[in-house]
């Protein structure tokens, strides 16, 4: 069974959705961090996969989130609350439209109306982007998150990727990595390294690169076994191209490639552990299902040993 879908895995689909277009006035990093915050807030109280989310869990989490924002003494708190709420609202609408959660559109819209009417400070309209602080303290002990920095790094890394796809290096590549895979890798690494370590692609450290590879790439993304094997070679080839173009200096590009190589075996080991855990969960679920239905267990035993004289389960029911 494939791993439960994660924010990074569905992000390309979300970005193309009508729900995202309604909030794309905000920086992509702010939207993603808002969604991640709500997801973490909900799952910390209700450790459920998206497919198990019900309107009750979403409602309790949404009200707790809004209450936190309303009682925040920061003078910019209301603007930040409304921007964050708009991003969360858009993502929830996307999940409903894509049938990724078992909540109807009517249930979700009813909840949103309730939240917006309850306090009067949470608005249906988009927050004033110009009124948002360009520097935000996320309370993680790192240098303050800056919207301008996120916008800038996304702009130039996307330019790097576009140039790479047009290059002879890409067209003559031996590795069978797709454009979608490489784009996902570069954007996830760029965003996560800044959000989690406050490092941009021009200042990545070994800690940031290895940290994203062994955490985000394993727990927040969905790759096949073959794609996991391509991650390090694909990223190193891309970094090599960027270094050749002079967008990173040669030593920094070489260092990044070494850091990627250092993170690869740990990442692959953790990904295998995750896959083993998923397999164990599937096996446990299959056994539990069989125990609920004795006739299915009998049929399974008969399929394994069709000799009716040895049909122990039938004799002892």
Output the pLDDT for position 122: 67
Backbone angles phi, psi at 182, to 5 degrees: -65, -40
Looking at residue 96, the DSSP 8-state letter turns out to be H
CB neighbourhood size of 284 (10 A): 10
Pairing status of strand 145-146 against strand 135-136: antiparallel
- Listed residue (241, 92, 263) closest to 192, CA to CA: 263
What pLDDT digit, counting tens, does each position of 28-81 carry?
A: 778 888 898 888 888 888 888 888 888 988 998 888 888 877 776 666 677 778
Q: Which of 109-113, 175-179, 237-241, 249-253 has the highest mean pLDDT?
A: 237-241
Residues 6 or more apart whose CB falls under 8 angstroms from that of 133 comprise 76, 79, 80
Whole-number Å distance between alpha carbons of 61 and 42? 6
What pLDDT digit, counting tens, does each position of 80-94 carry?
A: 788 888 899 999 999
Output the pLDDT for position 75: 63
First to last CA, the chain: 32
């Amino acid at each position: 069974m494939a791993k439960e879908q994660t924010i990074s895995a569905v992000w390309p689909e979300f970005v193309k959705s009508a729900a995202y277009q309604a909030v794309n006035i905000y920086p992509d990093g702010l939207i993603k961090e808002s969604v991640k915050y709500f997801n973490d807030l909900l799952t910390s109280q209700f450790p459920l996969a998206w497919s198990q989310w019900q309107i009750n869990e979403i409602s309790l989490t949404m009200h707790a989130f809004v209450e936190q924002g309303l009682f925040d003494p920061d003078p910019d708190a209301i603007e930040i609350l409304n921007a964050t709420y708009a991003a969360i609202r858009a993502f929830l609408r996307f999940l409903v439209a894509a049938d990724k959660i078992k909540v109807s559109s009517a249930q979700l819209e009813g909840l949103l109306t309730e939240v917006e009417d309850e306090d009067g400070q949470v608005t249906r309209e988009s927050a004033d982007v110009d009124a948002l602080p360009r520097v935000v303290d996320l309370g993680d002990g790192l240098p303050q998150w800056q919207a301008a920095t996120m916008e800038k790094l996304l702009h130039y890394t996307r330019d790097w990727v576009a140039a790479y796809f047009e290059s002879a290096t890409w067209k003559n590549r031996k590795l069978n990595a797709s454009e979608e895979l490489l784009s996902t890798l570069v954007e996830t690494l760029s965003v996560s390294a800044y959000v989690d370590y406050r490092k941009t692609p021009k200042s990545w450290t070994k800690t940031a690169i290895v940290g994203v590879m062994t955490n985000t790439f394993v727990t927040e993304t969905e790759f096949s076994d073959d794609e996991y094997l391509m991650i390090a070679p694909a990223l190193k080839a891309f970094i090599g191209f960027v270094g050749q173009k002079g967008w990173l200096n040669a030593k920094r590009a070489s260092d990044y490639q070494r850091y990627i190589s250092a993170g690869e075996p740990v990442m692959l080991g953790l990904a295998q552990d995750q896959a083993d855990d998923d397999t164990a969960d599937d096996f446990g679920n299959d056994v539990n299902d069989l125990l609920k239905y004795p006739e299915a267990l009998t049929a399974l035993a008969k399929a394994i040993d069709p000799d009716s004289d040895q049909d122990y389960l039938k004799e002892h029911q």
